[in-house]
Amino acid sequence: MRVGIISDIHGNVEALDAVMMELRDVDAIYCLGDVVGYGPNPNECCDIIRERKIPTVLGNHDAGAIGSLSLEWFNPPARIAAQWTADRLTARNRFFLQNLPLIRKTEHLCMVHGSLNDPERFGYIKSIWDARESFAEMGSDTLCFLGHTHIAEYFRQGSRLLQVDHLALPEGGRVAKNSDSFYIVNCGSVGQPRDGNPMAGFGIYDTDSSTIDLLRVEYPFRVTQSKMRDLGLPTSLQHRLEIGQ
């Protein structure tokens, strides 16, 4: 089975469309949250995820847009975009976001937006020390997909050796899973990459070969930028799309 992994779409429907085209042949798709926030098309992105019944976890920007996370946690441009999003969400999409869980589990696999050790506070995994705290919560799960940092990378912990390896893959690459190790994989952000590569990030997990491909695809970010300009969304949020930061 091949599973598409998407995260941090952030209301960027041009990026989501490009990624969904790449994922047209997969058997399932999972979404690690932040469907909305920052971008100009929050409802269109929610519609795609909701109508295709893609299993999704709640992200901090989703929580901010439905009022379950205080916008005090957001920096000023993010706060402006979050309020803008909150004011425009349809009742149906608000209901959809309100019913997203913080964690999802399937067989030997778990999904969370930020970190497993503190899912409701949306902590960031920025180092092997942060990763260690989430590995400690994985139990018998050997693989955890998450998002939140918008950086394509993975962490691996050997089952006996408690050493944690880390590799960033901003240009994409393959993670070949060993059966005796635990993995935390971030396939990057669909709609607002921050690892220096402006192309939309996503992943494909092949459960038969136990590989995860971290992939990138071009999308027309200038279209997204001009929509944001027309809607009066902060210029810093427009600019970061073309530099991938």
Which tokens sit at 154?
């993975």
Roughly what angle, to the nearest 10 degrees, separates helices 76-88 and 235-243?
Answer: 100
Q: How far is the CB of 148 from Zn ion (least distance, A)?
A: 6
Nearer to Zn ion, 125 or 164 (CB): 125
Nearer to Zn ion, 8 or 195 (CB): 8
Q: How far is the CB of 59 from Zn ion (least distance, A)?
A: 6
Q: Where do the DSSP E strands lie in 68-123?
A: 103-106, 109-112
Nearer to Zn ion, 149 or 157 (CB): 149
How many Å apart are CA 193 and CA 104, to the nearest integer?
23
Taken in order 3, 8, 11, 14, is the CA torsion positive or negative? negative
Nearer to Zn ion, 60 or 157 (CB): 60
Q: How far is the CB of 52 from Zn ion (least distance, A)?
A: 20
| Site residues, Zn ion (CB under 5 A) | 8, 34
Which tokens sit at 197?
């590569």
Place of tokens 């209301």: 11
Q: How far is the CB of 174 from Zn ion (least distance, A)?
A: 24
Place of tokens 């497993």: 116
Nearer to Zn ion, 8 or 14 (CB): 8
SS3 121: helix
Which residue is closest to Zn ion by CB?
34
Q: How far is the CB of 189 from Zn ion (least distance, A)?
A: 6
